[in-house]
Amino acid sequence: MGAQYAVGRPGGKTFPFHMTVSPINSNALAADGRSLNALKLQAGQNTPASIKEAARQFESLFMRELIKSMREATLKSGMLESPGGDLGQDMLDQQLAVQMSGMPGGLSELIARQLSQQMAPQQAAPVPLAQRQTRPTAELAVPVPLAQHQTRPTAELAASLPRPAANQAEFVARHSAAAAQVERTSGIPSGFMLGQAGHETGWGKHQIKMPGGSNSFNLFGIKAGAGWSGKVAEVTTTEFVNGAPQKMVAKFRAYASFEESFKDYARLITRSPRYAQVSQQTGSVQAFASGLQRAGYATDPDYAAKLSRAINQTLQLQRAQA
């Protein structure tokens, strides 16, 4: 039901104004809470009529603000202005905004097209009945502690990964104890650290060497910046500049053991402001790897994808070795 009002104007004249408080219709403007709720309910139906009405309401609100800005920019004498007159002017502008919206070729048509595209359901390709998932993945079938959620690849993902090579299994087995110890103090999953160490060193094949040929024990490719006071290994490495690989000489940190390498890596990830968000993303392999790339851990534009693959292979090996 609507309510009829007589709005006063300077000079004693009145004009009728109809304020609608019922659900949205073509003559109403969704400017109050009840009308907005009705518009949300109608737009959620995802029908051409509801989308068209939602677009018209957006245009009406835009036109109302436009008229309001024009009124405020107009110089006033102050002689005939009053609170009642301002209210009447505002209600008149509201009705004018409604009448000006929804015209062919107007803004509402553009909004309606955009809403239709955004609200259109995504059509998924049909999956043959024989290929549909009928059993829970290993992730769901085996209870996983809360701190380790999403750190194990599902059976479907594990099947898509290349079978780990013997050197990968040997690398994971060799460094599992050190990684597990650092996991207890840092909270970073051991599989994440082992996977990144494996990716950085080619699973132990390409470790950073000191000038005399001895091992630097740097499993994570951490460079020696201005704040590093320990030993340094200076080697030629590949960096990506503007997406193109280039060879250059860089200084890397050197340690006394692999255990020190794991500990220093954990300190870097958990204490450096640069990696503050990364240390909070250990619940997902992809999020962790993407976070490292965004923070600038490596210049390789495909680093996150490669690291995710290495970590998932490590998690697969850990499950097989458990």
Tokens standing for 60?
A: 């009406």
Phi and psi at residue 250, to the nearest 5°: -140, 155
CA-based nearest residue to 282, from 165, 163, 182, 170: 182
212: DSSP letter: T
Q: Are 209 and 236 in contact (CB under 8 A)?
A: no
Q: Are 150 and 285 in contact (CB under 8 A)?
A: yes
Alpha carbons 79 and 256: distance in angstroms, whole number? 87
Alpha carbons 260 and 277: distance in angstroms, whole number? 23
Taking the alpha carbons of 269, 145, 175, 181 in that order, is the dihedral positive or negative? positive
Alpha carbons 21 and 194: distance in angstroms, whole number? 64
Tokens standing for 52?
A: 């068209």
Residue 264 annotated in active site: yes
Alpha carbons 119 and 244: distance in angstroms, whole number? 40
Strands (E), the chain: 2-8, 14-20, 232-241, 244-253
Q: Of these residues, 200, 264, 300, 302, which one is catalytic?
A: 264
- Give Rg (Cα) of the chain: 32
Q: Of these residues, 65, 81, 156, 239, which one is catalytic?
A: 239
Tokens standing for 309?
A: 């693959």
Which of the residues are catalytic? Answer: 239, 264
